[in-house]
Chain A
């Protein structure tokens, strides 16, 4: 399975933008980049995914490097409800493989 590298933890102030990085230097041409998050005591929640181009949805934006070896999940205005573990996952024709993710803390 293709691997991703994420910081263990990050901290953000409320109402500030948050940039969550993910490195995936061994990505293959057909791998999609998926982001999920898991809030305390809940199942994982889909956030966004993309292949080559940057993507936006109501929750977040995904910026993908031109060589696709890294990506950044952008939360435009962090709220206390965004405190969660964020997982960056490469998905080929295989099931989702979750790593340890980045634990995001949001400070009021």
Chain B
């Protein structure tokens, strides 16, 4: 079974631009979560989606948004990029949301903002 895939793997953008990142979950998984990883802040939770509905949102500004489609694929968007948005963006999928459920992570999208 194919793992979680994320596209693109690497991206360079300029301050002020916007970016859209894509995540395809493992087949059959209906829950998708997004995380941001930086050297200074570590891994931080962004959003969690299940059945096209956002269940949880982390403490990030409104410039960060996401959505999930009916086929469980998910996208996240960052508008008006800032230098501090440079990070590894990770997507994870699971069968369902919940406490006793393991998540499977993709390789991430490395975003560099110049």
A and B: bona fide binding partners: yes
Binding site for B on A (CB under 8 A): 30-32, 34, 42-46, 49, 51, 87, 91-100
Name the interface residues of B38-61: CB closer than 8 Å to any CB of A.
42-45, 48, 56, 58
Q: Is A96 in contact with B103, judged by CB distance below 8 angstroms?
A: yes
By Cβ-Cβ distance, the 4 closest A-B pairs, closest first, are A43-B105, A98-B43, A46-B102, A95-B45
Q: Is A42 in contact with B107, judged by CB distance below 8 angstroms?
A: yes
Kindly identify which residue among B45, B90, B98 contacts A44, using a CB–CB cutoff of 8 Å. B90
Kindly identify which residue among B44, B99, B106 contacts A92, using a CB–CB cutoff of 8 Å. B99
Q: How far is the CB of A102 from chain B (nearest CB, A)?
A: 13
Judged by a CB distance under 8 angstroms, whether B84 is at the interface is: no
Q: Is A32 in contact with B99, judged by CB distance below 8 angstroms?
A: yes
Q: Is B99 in contact with A93, judged by CB distance below 8 angstroms?
A: yes
Q: Is A94 in contact with B56, judged by CB distance below 8 angstroms?
A: yes
Task: Report chain A residues within 8 Å CB of B106.
Answer: 43
Task: Report chain B residues within 8 Å CB of A44.
Answer: 43, 90, 92, 105
Q: Is B99 in contact with A30, judged by CB distance below 8 angstroms?
A: yes
Q: What band does the interface of chain B fall in when counting residues whose beta carbon is under 8 Å from A?
A: 20 to 34
Q: Is B100 in contact with A51, judged by CB distance below 8 angstroms?
A: yes
Task: Report chain A residues within 8 Å CB of B90.
Answer: 43-44
Task: Report chain A residues within 8 Å CB of B104.
Answer: 46
Q: Is A43 in contact with B108, judged by CB distance below 8 angstroms?
A: yes
Q: How far is the CB of A60 from chain B (nearest CB, A)?
A: 13
Nearest A residue (CB) for B33: A95
A10 to B18 Cα, complex, angstroms = 41
Task: Report chain A residues within 8 Å CB of B108.
Answer: 43
Task: Report chain A residues within 8 Å CB of B44.
Answer: 98
A77 to B42 Cα, complex, angstroms = 28
Q: Is B102 in contact with A34, judged by CB distance below 8 angstroms?
A: yes
Q: Mask for B70-82, Cβ within 8 A of A = 1, else 0? A: 0000000000000
Q: Is B107 in contact with A43, judged by CB distance below 8 angstroms?
A: yes
Q: Is B45 in contact with A96, judged by CB distance below 8 angstroms?
A: yes
Q: How far is the CB of B4 from chain A (nearest CB, A)?
A: 8
A31 to B99 Cα, complex, angstroms = 7
Q: A92-B99, A95-B56 are in contact. Are A45 and B105 (CB under 8 A)?
A: yes
